[in-house]
Amino acid sequence: MLSKDACRAIVLLAVALAVSPAAAGQGRDYISIVGSSTVYPFATTVAEQFGKTTRFKTPKIESTGSGGGMKLFCAGLGIETPDITNASRRIKKSEYATCRKNGVREITEVKIGYDGIVLANSKEAPRMNLSKRDIFLALAARVPAPDGGEKLVANPYRTWKEVDPALPDTRIEVLGPPPTSGTRDAFVELAMQGGCSTFAWIKTLKKTDKARFKGICHTIREDGAYIEAGENDNLIVQKLEANPRALGIFGFSFLDQNGDRIQGSLVDGEAPTFENIASGSYPVSRPLFFYIKDAHVGVIPGMREYVAEFTSDRAWGEDGYLADKGLIPMSAGERQRYAADAAALKPLILDDAGN
């Protein structure tokens, strides 16, 4: 039972708590980073290293997704907004415009390396050898009619063998990320669109009717052959183990960690290995970026040093600790160029930001 004094103390404390924030929130002595969940494992590794080897505090990194990160990043200047955002795709023109409108005039783009997107299945099943065309035909909602005409039909393919006689006679069953995921965006853009561009008449649409082209190439079937398995890639790996007939779509680092249980399918004859992704011969890989809010450099302590750590060879180099975590490094020339641009805080120009 509470005594009167105790009651009074609690009320006082509660009031103090409610009032205290007015004093808090002035200045921030750590870097605030938001953005892509794909870049998160790499950025956190750098942040931890940075926190341990320098006198600065360890940056705080939120995993908000590329789009969510851009929204926060471009909300304006000031300590309550993030200093850096990670992205698994380039900044969009619209996002760049929002940034400028809100006073975030100078941002520096740093490309950090590549991420391969793999299609993998359980070791118990034979390894698949797919072409991008196979992937498109197996997963698109509507595909060109099998008789070769220039019209679309609802995807009739049930088994891989129907797609391509060389493939095994198993049901098409693909576990992949939901539409909110950056991995899904990249997969659709690289694998599906690549496959659908192999049809000449669809390819010409790209110039004449871009919306229709995107509608054909980017729409994934919803009749149960493609199963949205959530954002958690570990879950997909587990499900693949339990179901050897299924294929899963996820980032290279998960294949890298689970090489004893699952195998990556060949795409256009190329295996998803570290070397093949780095050399660019594996076709389904995308660049990863982070963006620096230049106005915060010098205001928030440690930003220059964090960028230097990230762009050092011991981090993003071929033998760096990020390669250990599954990041595919850029070529030495590209690394040098981006490191120099980052150190000089070269601002991104609007026309640069295509797509």
Partner 1 sequence: MKKHGAMPGKEKVTAMDVVQKGLARRYRRERWFRRMGLAAVLASIGFLGLLFVSIIGNGWSAFTQAEVLLDIDFAAAQFDVDNLARANYGALVKKSLQKLFPGVKDRRQKRKLYRLVSSGAAFILQKMVMQDTSLIGTSRRIWLPADDEVDMLLKGYISRSVPESQRRLTDRQIGWIDRLIADGRLKKRFNTTFFTAGDSREPELAGIRGAVAGSLLTMLVTLLLSFPVGVATAVYLEEFAPRNRWTDLIEVNINNLAAVPSIVFGLLGLAFFLGVLGLPRSSPLVGGLVLTLMTLPTIIIASRASLKSVPPSIREAALGIGASKMQVIVHHVLPLAMPGMMTGTIIGMAQALGETAPLLMIGMVAFIVDVPTGLTDPATVLPVQIYLWADAPERAFVERTAAAIMVLLAFLICMNGLAVYLRRKFERRW
C-beta closer to partner 1: residue 11 or 153: 11
- Which one, 61 or 143, has the nearer CB to partner 1? 61
Of 20 and 208, CB closest to partner 1:
20
In the complex, the smallest distance separating the C-beta of residue 172 from partner 1, rounded to whole angstroms, is 26
Shortest separation between residue 250's beta carbon and partner 1, angstroms: 9
Q: Cα–Cα distances in Å, from 65 out to 72, 83, 85, 112, 180?
A: 11, 16, 10, 17, 9
Report the distance separating Cα 30 and Cα 51, nearest Å. 10
Sole residue written with tokens 């380039």 = 90
**Would you give the end-to-end CA distance of the chain in angstroms?**
66
- The contact set with partner 1 (CB under 8 A) reads 1-2, 4, 7, 10-11, 13-14, 17-18, 20-21, 24-25, 28, 30, 32, 37, 40-41, 43-45, 47-48, 51-52, 57-58, 60-63, 80, 123, 231-234, 251, 253-254, 256-260, 319, 321, 325-326
Least distance from C-beta 304 to partner 1, angstroms?
19
- The secondary structure of 245-274 as a DSSP string is T-EEEEEHHHHHHTTTTEEEPEETTB---H
- Least distance from partner 1 to the Cβ atom of residue 1, Å: 5
Alpha-carbon distances, residue 30 vs 80, 107, 302, 316 (angstroms): 12, 19, 8, 22
Least CB distance to partner 1 at residue 61 (A):
4
Report the alpha-carbon distance of residue 244 to residue 230 in Å, rounded.
Answer: 19
Q: Which is nearer to partner 1, 254 or 343 (CB)?
A: 254
Q: Which is nearer to partner 1, 11 or 97 (CB)?
A: 11
8 A C-beta contact, residue 80 and residue 293: no
Instruction: Choose between 52 and 207: whose C-beta lies nearer to partner 1.
Output: 52
- Measured distance CA(59)–CA(286) in Å, rounded: 25
Q: Which is nearer to partner 1, 43 or 119 (CB)?
A: 43
**Residue 20 or residue 355: which is nearer to partner 1 going by CB?**
20
Cβ 242 to partner 1 shortest distance, Å: 14
Query: What secondary structure letter does DSSP report for 327?
Result: P
Count of residues in the chain = 355
| Residue 72 one-letter amino acid | L
Question: How far apart are CB 245 and partner 1 at their closest, in Å?
Answer: 21
Residue type, 23: A
Report which DSSP code applies to 190. I
Name the minimum Å distance from CB 203 to partner 1.
Answer: 36
Give the whole-angstrom CA distance, residue 344 versus residue 34: 22
How far, CA to CA in Å, does 127 sit from each of 89, 122, 284, 351?
A: 29, 8, 17, 43
